[in-house]
Structure 1
Amino acid sequence: MAAAWILISHAAVTWAMVGLIWTIQVVHYPLFAYVKSGFRQYHEQHMHRITFVVGPLMLAELAGSVYLWLHPPAGTDARLWLAALLLLGIAWVDTGLFSVPQHGRLESGGFDVAAHRGLMISNLVRTLAWTARGLLIAWLVVRWASALQSPVSGA
C-alpha cells in the first residue's frame, strides 16, 4: 500500500510541475516584457513567491524519483525510472546553469531583452524535459496498474 501511495503521489507532484512549468512558459514569463516601471521589484516578488511553490514540489519530486528508481513498482523497469530521473536532472541542471543566471541579470539590472530571451529559451528546455517526464511517469503508472490486474501465475 505504501508503494502505491508513493507512486501516485509522485505522479501527482510531477504533473503539478508539468502544469506549473507550462503556465510559466506560456503565460508568466512572456508577461515580463509588459512590466515597465517597477520591474525589479516585480521580479524580486516573483522569485520570492514562486520559490514557495516550486521548492517543495521539486524536492518531493526528486525524493520520489530516487526512491522509485531504487524500488521500481511491479510491472515497471528500473531503467525507465532512471530515464525519468535523468529528465529531472536535465530540468534541474538547466535551472541552475541557465535559468538562475538569467533571473539574476533581470533582478539586478532590470528588464533586459537578451536576458529575457535567454530565460525563455532555458525555460523551454525545462518545459520539454518536464513534459517528457510527465508522459513517462503516466505510462509507468499505467504499466503498474496493468500489472496489478494481471493474474498471478501459479495462484
Structure 2
Amino acid sequence: MNDIDITIRLIFLAHVAATLYMTGLIWFVQIVHYPLLAATGRAEFSAYEKRHMSLTTWVVMPPMLVEIATAVLLFWFRPADVASWQVWSGVILLAIIWLSTAFLQVPCHEKLANGFNAEVQQRLVATNWIRTIAWTLRGLLVLGMMWNTWAVT
C-alpha cells in the first residue's frame, strides 16, 4: 500500500467515524436531551441553558469540523469504490445540517438562554428533526460507502 492509499483510508475512516458519532449523538439529543429541557427548573433554566451551550460546543464542534473537512477532502481523496454521487450527496446533507444548525437550532438556543419558553423549546425539538434525519441519511450513506469499499467479493 502506497502513501496515497494510506491517506485515502485515513481520511475515509475519519469521515466515517465523525459521521457515525454525530448520528448517534443527534438521536440522543432528539429523543432524550431536547425534550428534557422542558423538565428543567424554571429558576435555573437560563444558567442551565448557557452552560449547556458552552459545554455542547466542546462535544459537537470537533467531530463536526472533522466531518465537513473530510467530506470536502473526499472530492480529491476518494476510495476507488466510492461513487462521486455519494460524496456529493454527503456534502449536500452536511449543508442542510449546518444551515439548520445556524438558522434554526442556534437561534432557539439563544432565545432559551434568556429563560425557558415552551414554544421555543417545542420549536427546537421539532426543527431538530431536520438534522436528525439528515445525519441518519449520512450515517446510512457512509455505511454504504464503507460496504462498497471493503466488501468481500
TM-score of the superposed pair, with normalisation by structure 1: 0.91
Q: CA shift at 1:69, angstroms?
A: 2.6
Give the root-mean-square deviation of aligned CA atoms: 1.1
Kept after mapping to 2: 8 A contact 1:87/1:129 = yes
Structure 1 segments, 4+ long, off by >6 Å, are none
Q: Percent identity?
A: 37
Q: CA shift at 1:134, angstroms?
A: 0.6
Q: Look up the match of 1:17.
A: 22
Q: Look up the match of 1:107.
A: 113
Aligned residues: 147
> Using CA pairs below 8 Å that are at least 6 residues apart, which structure has the higher relative contact order?
2
Counting only pairs closer than 5 Å after superposition, residues 35-46 of structure 1 correspond to structure 2 as: 35-36=40-41, 37-46=43-52
Distance between the aligned counterparts of 1:76 and 1:56, measured in 2?
Answer: 25
The residue matched to 1:69 in structure 2 has which SS? coil
The residue matched to 1:18 in structure 2 has which SS? helix
TM-score of the superposed pair, with normalisation by structure 2: 0.92
Q: Look up the match of 2:82.
A: 76
The residue matched to 2:75 in structure 1 has which SS? helix
Q: Which runs of 5+ in 1 are unaligned?
A: 151-155
Q: CA shift at 1:76, angstroms?
A: 1.1
Q: Look up the match of 1:127.
A: 132
Kept after mapping to 1: 8 A contact 2:12/2:78 = no
The residue matched to 1:111 in structure 2 has which SS? coil
Distance between the aligned counterparts of 1:39 and 1:31, measured in 2?
Answer: 12
Q: CA shift at 1:70, angstroms?
A: 3.2
**Residue identity matched to 1:119:** L
Kept after mapping to 2: 8 A contact 1:10/1:65 = yes
Structure 2 residue 32 is matched with structure 1 residue 27 = yes
**Residue identity matched to 1:4:** R
Structure 2 residue 70 is matched with structure 1 residue 64 = yes
Equivalent of residue 97 in structure 2, options 67, 91, 94 = 91
Kept after mapping to 2: 8 A contact 1:13/1:60 = yes
Q: CA shift at 1:68, angstroms?
A: 0.8
Distance between the aligned counterparts of 2:119 and 2:75, measured in 1?
Answer: 38
